[in-house]
Structure 1
Amino acid sequence: MWLLLLEAGIAMFLLIFIVWWTMFAGRKPERPAAKRPPEDDDRKA
C-alpha cells in the first residue's frame, strides 16, 4: 500500500514540477505590443 502512495506522490510531484517549469522557466521580459497599421476594408472580400 505504501508503495502505491509513494508512486502517486512522485507522479504528483512530477506533474507539478513540469507545469511550473513550463510556466516560469522561459519567461521573457514583456515588451509593449507593436502597433499594426489599420487594414483596408477593401482587402476583406
Structure 2
Amino acid sequence: MDLYEYQARDMFERHGVPVLAGLIADTPEQAHAAAEKIGGLTVVKAQVKT
C-alpha cells in the first residue's frame, strides 16, 4: 500500500480509529491560514513522498 500520512489518517477516522486533529496545507499561504485557525504555537510537519 502506498499512502501519504493524511490519506492513512482519513482512512483510520472513517473506520473509527482515534487520531489527533490536524490540518492539511499545500502552499505556504494555506499553512499560514491553518496556523492562524489553530491559534497559539504551531508546528509544520512536511510530507515529501520520494
Taking structure 1 as the reference length, the TM-score comes to: 0.29
| Bigger radius of gyration | 1
Taking structure 2 as the reference length, the TM-score comes to: 0.26
